Structure 1
Amino acid sequence: MTDLPTFRLDGRRALVTGAGRGIGRAIALGYAAAGAEVTLCARSQEELNALSEEIRASGGTCDVMPLDITDQAAVTAALADREAYHILLNNAGTNRPKPLTEVVDEDIDAVLDLNVRATILMTRAVVSRMLEDAVTGSVITMSSQMGHVGAANRTLYCASKWAVEGFTRALAVELGPQGIRVNTICPTFIETPLTAPFFEDPAFKEQVLSKIKLGRIGQPSDIVGAAVFLASDASALMTGSSVMLDGGWTAD
């Protein structure tokens, strides 16, 4: 019989952005449980410290990196003296849903700077060190079902996630020969501190549930399995792809 692939991450260093809450927090806990040494990156020192204490109390290994990843100089400085990572999870992101005619320049800057530009900056910094040290590994970016479909009031968000999908495929082609895999995870609506206020509107919640074939809003824990899979040797032949965790939203 063929040996089962391992989902363990022992001996690997993982950097998770947006790790303070929601999906990033859940994935950081999952990576630590799978044996990785996890760097927790977010703007909130307090949230990172609390998560760090939780991981260490469970026997995991981690450190914290308080950082605004939209600041190129800060990203460069934060990574300058660190060993190469085997896993990068680009999770930090934002959304400002509104009709395009109500979008202001500040909205464009906020969404595209964090969702696209910061993802590219962080990936460039981490991959550069991986290549310098001949480290193979996995770059994973949290995209969205909205990187594959369109939706009203989501022009900025869709633009940012479609950009992430194109970036991922191009980088996968570029880095494949060096043994670095590049993929995305595309969730449906997940209940997090960012999205929870939207679900207080019954009409909005009903509309979302009507599109999710499994009939429920996703939870951060629903994303952890795919994140561990893409970081591990279980996905050794997978690059330039998207893992759809959309509850069937894009099936029709």
Structure 2
Amino acid sequence: MDLGLAGRRALVTGAGKGIGRGTVKALHAAGVQVVALSRTRADLDSLVVECPGVEPVCVDLGDWDATERALGSVGPVDLLVNNAAVALLQPFLEVTKEACDTSFDVNLRAVIQVSQIVARGLIARGAPGAIVNISSQASQRAITNHSVYCSTKGAMDMLTRVMALELGPHKIRVNAVNPTVVMTPMAQANWSDPQKAKAMLDRIPLGRFAEVENVVDVILFLLSDRSSMTTGSTVPVDGGFLAT
């Protein structure tokens, strides 16, 4: 199915690895001009080799001022994927200030900042747009040792709804995608224990974790005009986890 994305310009955060990298590659293949943002220069360098024409931006989204400078001259953006995230797992009684600050800075505050920059540009141009926030099944279910991560993703789901409410009159749609565990390097590090993985898999009716392309397909649909009446939604890609 041709989603009609060719000729548009997209910004993808957390573009160096996992879902973000997969999204950049799929958008590039669909004829989209992509601005790829990552804090890791080596990841961006290899991505540009894989996808010639991709515009790399290297910045740590945890740094508000640096992000403002990096995106100040990025130019017009039609589509935004807020994918960058950190998962700092600690038992609740051992949660540190540093884990809270870093998690909320990257997983939530940066989403607000980057979305403001893109939305202001769209409104100034009088152009429609689409924003997809990468949330998690952890926004709606409690998971041991994920208190801070679950909190940031729960906040992201509500942020998505408020953004949809306020930006809808400007023809900017905002949706969230809520995957289960996706087989990315970050997930492999956090779910490598077979006993821990089994406990999660036993709660997923389809009995497996997601692959990157499962999530990317939904992201592209939500960015496209095929979903032109969808905004303020949280879309599970979870094998049925949230149904149980």
Same fold (TM over 0.5): yes
- The amino acid across from 2:124 in the alignment is E
Determine the structure 2 residue equivalent to 1:30: 26
C-alpha distance in structure 1 between counterparts of 2:37 and 2:4, whole Å: 22
Q: Does 1:20 align with 2:12?
A: no
1:150 matched residue in structure 2: 142
Q: CA deviation at 1:53?
A: 1.1
Give, in whole Å, the separation in 2 of the partners of 1:52 and 1:132: 30
CA RMSD between the two structures = 1.2
Residue 125 (structure 1) aligned to one of 106, 117, 120 = 117
1:198 and 1:75 map into 2 onto residues whose CA distance is: 28
| Alpha-carbon distance, 1:98 to partner | 2.0
Is 1:42 matched up with 2:34? no
Tell me, yes or no, if the aligned pair for 1:214 and 1:248 is still in contact at 8 Å.
yes
Length-normalised TM-score, structure 2:
0.96
Q: Is the 8 A contact 2:62 2:102 kept in 1?
A: no
| TM-score, normalising length: structure 1 | 0.93
1:75 maps to: 67
Measured after TM superposition, the shift of residue 79 of structure 1 is: 2.0
Find the residue that maps to 2:185 and give its secondary structure: coil
Q: Give % identity.
A: 36
Runs of 4+ that moved beyond 6 A? none
Output the CA distance in 1 between the equivalents of 2:42 and 2:143. Answer: 35
Q: Which ranges in structure 2 are unaligned for 5 or more consecutive residues? A: none
SS of residue in 2 equivalent to 1:93: coil
Match of 2:237 in 1: 245
- The separation in 1 between residues aligned to 2:159 and 2:190, in whole angstroms, is 29
Q: Distance in 1 between matches of 2:33 and 2:106?
A: 25
Say if 2:133 is the partner of 1:141.
yes
1:179 is matched with which residue: 134, 150, 171?
171
1:215-226 matches, within 5 Å, as 215-226=207-218
Q: Quote the offset at 1:82 in angstroms.
A: 2.7
Query: How far is 1:81 from its partner?
Result: 2.2
